[in-house]
Structure 1
Amino acid sequence: MFELLTAFAVGLVVLCLVGKIISLPLQLVWKLITNSIVGAILLWVVKIFAAKVQITFLSALIAGFFGVPGVIAVLLYTYL
């Protein structure tokens, strides 16, 4: 009886660890996708109000990877 309970506990711990290992990359991908969407929208809105800002591959990559702080960095680079 004790061996069955121990095997169940070990199996449950292993299942939880495998679930965490699998879900971590999915969380990172989801964060990258949401940052990219928010960054692209913010770059587009900034482009409407500030004609000096150019949307290039590099600025889109920075805004997509870093999100709102990336858009702020692109704006600082453009105006400084």
Structure 2
Amino acid sequence: MEPVIVISILGGLIVLLLMMGTPLKPIRTVGQGLIKILIGALFLFFLNAFGNQFNIHVPINLMTSAISGFLGLPGLAALVAVQLWIL
């Protein structure tokens, strides 16, 4: 595809977004989800920091952060239970 066509399509999309505005609902939902995942990672960090005394370690990755972030403390307790009894 010609560069002129690509640039004109992108320019048209930018003008269209400026005139109509961005859809705020999806952006807000994604932002809230990312905040919850970060909070979940923080929960897991503190659990691992204080859980070393009791030989508890739950790895911090995207899945465990999402579980502990969206479910809160019950999700964190479920991750600990899975770590202790299943793994």
Short-chain TM bin: 0.5 to 0.7
Residue of structure 1 equivalent to 2:49:
48
Shift in Å at residue 40 of structure 1?
0.6
Residue of structure 2 equivalent to 1:62:
64
User: Identity across aligned pairs (percent)?
Assistant: 18
Q: Using the alignment, how far apart are the partners of 1:28 and 1:55 within structure 2?
A: 26
Residue of structure 2 equivalent to 1:22:
23
The answer for unaligned runs of 5 or more in structure 2 is: 1-19
- Between the two proteins, the alignment pairs up a number of residues equal to 60
2:43, 2:68 within 8 Å by CA — same for their partners in 1? no
4+ runs deviating over 6 angstroms:
none
- Give the TM-score normalised by structure 2: 0.52
Residue of structure 2 equivalent to 1:73:
78
Shift in Å at residue 65 of structure 1?
5.1
Deviations 1:35-73 (A, max 9, x none): 11110111000001112213153xx42323551244232
- Give the TM-score normalised by structure 1: 0.55
2:45, 2:60 within 8 Å by CA — same for their partners in 1? no
